[in-house]
A and B are shown apart, each in its own frame.
Chain A
Amino acid sequence: MTDIAPSKPAPNPSLSLQGISRHYGDVQALNDISFDLAEGEILCLLGASGCGKSTLLRLIAGIEDPDRGEIRLAGQLVSDQSAHVEPEARGIGFMFQDYALFPHLSVADNVAFGLKGWSRAETRARVSEMLDMAGISALADRFPHMLSGGESQRVALARALAPRPGLLLMDEPFSNLDQGLRATVRAETLSLLHQMRVGTIIVTHDPQEALAVADRIVLIRDGRIEAMGTPRGLYNDPPTAYTARFLGPGTGLPGRIQNGNLVTPLGQFAAPGLQDGQSAEAFFRPQALSLCAADQGGYPARVLRREFLGAQDRLTLALEDTADTDCSGIKVQLDLPAASVDQATASQQVDHLGLRLDPAAVHIFATGPQPEAAKS
């Protein structure tokens, strides 16, 4: 991890984690996790499966306890090495990946389950309000086994939000939904969350989802925070190569630093702060590339594969060796709007094209150890 992108401390965080660690046997599931969650903020815990993000959610909820570190809710300590607050006293809403609806209770009773100590009238009013907000009033008397995936998701959300939790935790909330349904349900969920102004942590392994819903993303890798920042910030200016690759497709061109520049087959890029002789890579997103005819300059490339994706064409290209570069095996992929392909002459079964790269959209990451000279 190199740099933690903008993390201004919230004045009154609804959740604050300090140095959270947790291990299972020899496996260090979480290592020194610290961040704050502002009131009403939607934060995505993003990471590959098994990276520890779900474990973190369980620690926050109090279902498990961390080995080290402190958890505060609205400024109050709820967990440290020696003492903790039981999950039922934390006032946290938790939406489980499998929704965990109680099969023996109707939808209305599921939503009412968390309203402990409320009067009958208050409970009834709150349940109908929540069902209304979630758009499932018609399902009040149904039982969980009669619900579709999308309906179950809404019931689970309404149930978690009904007791007005100070914090909402969602574990892969959209992963059990069909692709077609997912975007709709996601939008509805977000609007409900914004309406209720509840601080929310969403665990997901899907970078598209994190980019779409989060105010802030915390990227976790092997139990540590790899990067943290706004979706736009992390995508456009990734602090690490892992972050860059995790958030979306791109190509890394290997090279070596010479005179402060990274020399690659596609040109030289300024690499401030890196020593000469250091191996590094130039990473860029597909949209940083543009095409031209082979004879109009640009770097020569051969078309390996064209895939028609409807709205766009996906081209896979191999860079060709020239007199002064060896780039065998380097492939790039780029999507072109279907309409523009003609202009780029790609549709005319042209095998050879020229590639141009926008140097402003290139990120330089060190890939190897610092050279011997720099160490001494």
Chain B
Amino acid sequence: MTTTALTAAAKTQAGARSALRRAPRGRTGRAWVWAAAGVAVLVLIPVAALLWQAVQGSEGLWSHLWAHVLLPALGQSLILLGGVGVVVIALGTSLAWLVARHDFPGRRILDWALLLPLAVPSYIIAFVYLDLMHPLGPVQDTLRAILGYASPRDFRLPDIRSMPGAIGLLGLVLYPYVYLPVRAMFAMQAAGLLEAGRMLGCSRRALFWRLALPLARPAIAVGASLALMEALNDIGASEFLGVRTLTVSVYSTWVTRSDLPGAAQIALVMLVVVAGLVALERLGRRRQRFAGGAQRLRPVTPLRLHGLRGWLAFGLGALPVLLGFGVPLAWLISESVTRIGTAGISAQLRTETLNTLLLSAGATIAVLTGGALVAFAARLRPGAVTAGIGRLASLGYAMPGTVIALGVLVPVAGLDRLIDTGARALFDAGPGLLLLGSGIALGYAYFVRFLAISIGGIESGFSQIPRSLDHAARCLGHGPGASFRRLHLPLTRPALAAAALLVFVDSMKELSATLLLRPVGVETLATHLYGEAARGTYEEGAVAALAIVAAGIAPVIALARLGRRKSTMVG
């Protein structure tokens, strides 16, 4: 033994053992569980506030609301959801089948490019096509020039400001929610299974309907329910296109008529619709738990499409990318270039960009912290309690932004009043609406809405770490906190980064809660765009939209790379 070692020998753990302190059992990580429970309570407060607010409504108002606002809005929403559901399932499933089971020129590009429309929020695609398809817009002008008509009075396309227009546009940007999981499912389906089907006399076409599609049902259900939740959450596209959905009604009932209980009641109906979507998803996934097990089997060799058929396949696959991403991006770029070339970028837009970035960054930090608390509590103390906390804390992903905003407003406004009164009593001056005025209320709404993303991401990151590493860290003298800092945090950095990117971009794009909760006089890029579209003025909106779409491309590329890594693992 060296001399240094001898001096260090005083520091043996055996020596430290004279100070062994015993504590009651079952306390390990309890502080983390309490913190996680606190996070879950933060998520539940808006729901409770909403319920409380809804029961405040008077009977007379309710019947009026029911007959004149709620019923028509519910009808419109259900038609919209039904239509969007049909479009995204048809589009997403057929594109997934095309790309996963066929080989043709450009397939590798389409494989990930088909995800790109995810980068375009629904209110931006509506904003773009409203201008493009305007009776005096470029598309109809060109058509008339080709067909030889002189004026819009002689020839015009059906108005895009309609229910079919809304369904089509929402479907164009939401189909990737179905495409992504279904493509993975088709790629995973074992060759043996399908070969068995063919041996039993199924034609290739019959295979799709009788085997591949039923096997992909769980993936379709998951994707479609996510897409429809987005459709329900949408406020911009519906409003621009003149479809008075529940979300639009909540906004107008609150902002225009100042009827908070009425808005809360509509919001509750929206929650019922969400519950219906979740139930439909469960129904679609029933008795299909085995479907995930086919990972290690030999994948199917795609059918090679030659010559014209190959190019036709590429054309068909490229069309949704073009309409849902290419055209809007090209239009936004050209409009932005024109605008910046003539007027530069206004100070106002710079401020709005800064607002957007600050809000999104703050929300991202809060969301990641909350997600890490919940995920690590479940890691430390696996069991029913932490699983329940995780589920409650993830509720927000299913709640539309307007609903969350309503739920956040009441308790936060109450707290603001309390702070103000207290401060006035103490210092003769109050801060006014501290939380609502500073954007903290809006950050809180983002927190509730996007927490599920970070919980899910961090939990899946943790699941990659073998338990023995946790135990090794403990035995090497690190308590839960130190283990988290030195082991879990560094090892989940990729998962954290991915979650941060998603939350940041989603916060940037968020419109429905932002419209309701932004501090007076403060605009973000999204609300700026909304304002211009609502007024019908097209000034810097394109620049703001371009910034949002550009930011949104990053997570889509990350998603595409993730999908490719998974598919190579399978192959």
B337 interfacial by beta-carbon distance below 8 Å: no
Q: Pick the interface stretch among B115-123, B130-138, B200-208, B463-471.
A: B463-471
The yes or no answer to B308 lying at the interface (CB within 8 A) is no
Residue-wise, chain A 98-122 has the 8 Å CB interface mask toward B (1 for contact) of 1010111000000001101110011
B2 to A125, Cβ gap below 8 A?
yes
B4 to chain A minimum Cβ distance, whole angstroms, is 4
Query: In the complex, are the beta carbons of B476 and A163 less than 8 A apart?
Result: yes
Residues of B within 8 A of A65 (CB): 25-26
Indicate if the CB atoms of B471 and A116 lie closer than 8 Å. no
> Closest chain B residue to A171 by CB distance?
B468
Min Cβ gap A119→B in Å is 9
- Between B7, B12, B468, B472, the greatest number of chain A beta carbons within 10 A of the residue's beta carbon is seen for B472
Kindly provide the distance from the CB of A70 to the nearest chain B CB, expressed in whole angstroms.
11
A163 to B15, CA, bound (A): 11
Q: Does B150 contact A (CB under 8 A)?
A: no
Provide the A57-92 mask, 1 if CB < 8 A to any CB of B, else 0: 010011101000000011011100011111111111
> Given the complex, which residues of A lie within 8 Å of B487, measured CB to CB?
102
User: Which listed residue (A61, A85, A93) contacts B22, Cβ 8 A?
Assistant: A85
Contacts of A90 in B (CB 8 A): 17, 20, 475
Contacting pair A91 B14 (CB below 8 A): yes
Shortest distance from the beta carbon of B283 to any chain A beta carbon, whole Å: 32
Do B17 and A159 touch across chains, with their CB atoms under 8 A apart?
no
Q: Do A63 and B476 touch (CB < 8 A)?
A: no
A323 to B4, CA, bound (A): 78
Q: From the candidates A62, A92, A93, A118, name the one contacting B11 in the complex (CB within 8 A).
A: A118
- Determine which residue in A76, A85, A102 has the highest number of CB atoms from chain B within 10 A of its CB, and name it: A102
B25 and A84: CB pair below 8 A?
A: yes
Verify if A166 is at the interface (C-beta below 8 Å from B). yes
- CB distance A88 to B478 under 8 Å? yes
Main secondary structure of the interface of B (DSSP, over half): helix
Contact yes or no, B13 A91, CB < 8 A = yes
Q: Contacts A83-B22, A91-B16; is A116 near B472 (CB within 8 Å)? A: no
Question: Are the C-beta atoms of B478 and A126 separated by less than 8 Å?
Answer: no
- Please count how many residues in chain B sit with their CB below 8 Å of the partner chain's CB atoms: 38
Q: Is A165 an interface residue (CB 8 A)?
A: yes
List residues of chain B with CB within 8 A of the CB of A73.
17, 20
Q: Which residues of A contact B4 (CB under 8 A)?
A: 121-122, 125-126, 129
Q: Which residues of A contact B26 (CB under 8 A)?
A: 65
User: Which residues from A are CB-within-8-Å of B469?
Assistant: 100, 102
State in angstroms the CA–CA spacing of A129 and B239 once bound together: 71
Residues of B within 8 A of A62 (CB): 474
- Is B9 an interface residue when CB atoms closer than 8 A count as contact? yes
Q: A86-B28, A125-B2 are in contact. Are A76 and B17 (CB under 8 A)?
A: yes
A-facing residues in B187-228 (Cβ within 8 Å): none
- Roughly how many angstroms separate A88 CA and B8 CA in the complex, as a whole number? 20
For B7, B477, B487, the residue with the greatest tally of chain A CB atoms inside 10 Å of its CB is B477
B388 to chain A, nearest CB (A): 20
Knowing A113-B486, A163-B476 are in contact, say whether A83-B17 is a contact too (CB < 8 A). Answer: no
* Bound complex: CA A102 to CA B473 (Å): 9
A79 to chain B, nearest CB (A): 8
Q: Is the CB of A78 within 8 A of B468?
A: no
A94 within 8 A of B: yes
A100 to B472, CA, bound (A): 7
Contacts of B9 in A (CB 8 A): 164
Q: Is the CB of A98 within 8 A of B468?
A: yes
Q: Do A104 and B471 contact each other (CB < 8 Å), given the known contacts A91-B17, A116-B477, A129-B5?
A: no
* A35 CB-CB contact with B under 8 Å: no
Q: Is B21 an interface residue (CB 8 A)?
A: yes
Nearest-CB residue, chain B, relative to A83: B22
In the assembled complex, the CB of A62 is this many whole angstroms from the nearest CB of chain B, namely: 8
Q: B570 near A: Cβ within 8 Å?
A: no
Please name the residue on chain B nearest to A87 by beta carbon.
Answer: B474
One digit per residue, 1 when the CB lies within 8 angstroms of any chain A CB and 0 when it does not, for chain B 70-102 equals 000000000000000000000000000000000
Q: Is B23 an interface residue (CB 8 A)?
A: yes
| A58 closest partner in B (C-beta) | B471
Contacts known (A125-B5, A126-B8, A166-B13); A85 close to B491, Cβ less than 8 A? no
Confirm or deny: A96 has a beta carbon within 8 angstroms of a beta carbon on chain B.
Answer: yes
With beta carbons under 8 angstroms apart, the residue of A93, A103, A104, A116 that contacts B478 is A116
Check if B477 sits within 8 Å of A88, measured CB to CB: yes
Q: Which residue of chain A has its CB nearest to the CB of B12?
A: A164
B-side contacts of A82, CB under 8 Å = 24-25
Partner of A98, one of B5, B20, B466, B476: B466
Chain B residues contacting A117 (CB-CB under 8 Å) are 11
Checking A76, A94, A104, A118 against B475 with a beta-carbon cut-off of 8 angstroms, the contacting residue is A94
CA distance A104 to B7 in the complex (A): 30
**Chain B residues near A122 (CB, 8 Å)?**
4, 7-8, 11
- Check B475–A92 contact: CB distance below 8 A: yes
Pick from A85, A97, A102: contact of B20, CB under 8 Å: A85
**Which residues of A have CB within 8 Å of B490?**
104
Give CA–CA (A160, B13) in the complex, Å: 12
In the assembled complex, B431 has its CB within 8 A of some CB on chain A: no
How far, in angstroms, from A274 to B468 measured CA to CA in the complex? 49
**Residue from B5, B25, B28, B466 in contact with A83 in the complex, judged by beta carbons closer than 8 Å:** B25
| A122: min CB distance to chain B, Å | 5
Chain B residues near A165 (CB-CB < 8 A): 13-14
Of the residues B7, B8, B474, contact of A63 by C-beta under 8 Å: B474
Instruction: Report Cα–Cα, A85/B22, bound state, in Å.
Output: 5
Complex: chain A residue closest to B26, CB-CB: A65
B479 beta carbon closer than 8 Å to chain A: yes
The 12 listed contacts between A and B (C-beta, < 8 Å) are A78-B22, A84-B22, A87-B475, A88-B474, A91-B12, A98-B466, A113-B473, A114-B475, A125-B8, A129-B2, A163-B477, A164-B13
Extra A-B contacts (13), CB below 8 Å, given A125-B8, A126-B4: A61-B474, A63-B475, A73-B17, A76-B20, A83-B22, A84-B22, A84-B25, A88-B474, A88-B476, A117-B11, A122-B4, A129-B2, A160-B476
What are the nearest 7 A-B pairs in CB distance? Answer: A91-B13, A114-B476, A125-B4, A100-B468, A164-B12, A166-B14, A100-B472
Taking beta carbons and an 8 Å cutoff, which residues of B are in contact with A?
A: 1-2, 4-5, 7-9, 11-14, 16-17, 20-26, 28, 466, 468-469, 471-479, 482, 486-487, 490-491
A-side residues, CB < 8 A to B, are 58, 61-63, 65, 73-74, 76-78, 82-94, 96-98, 100, 102-104, 113-114, 116-118, 121-122, 125-126, 129, 159-160, 163-166
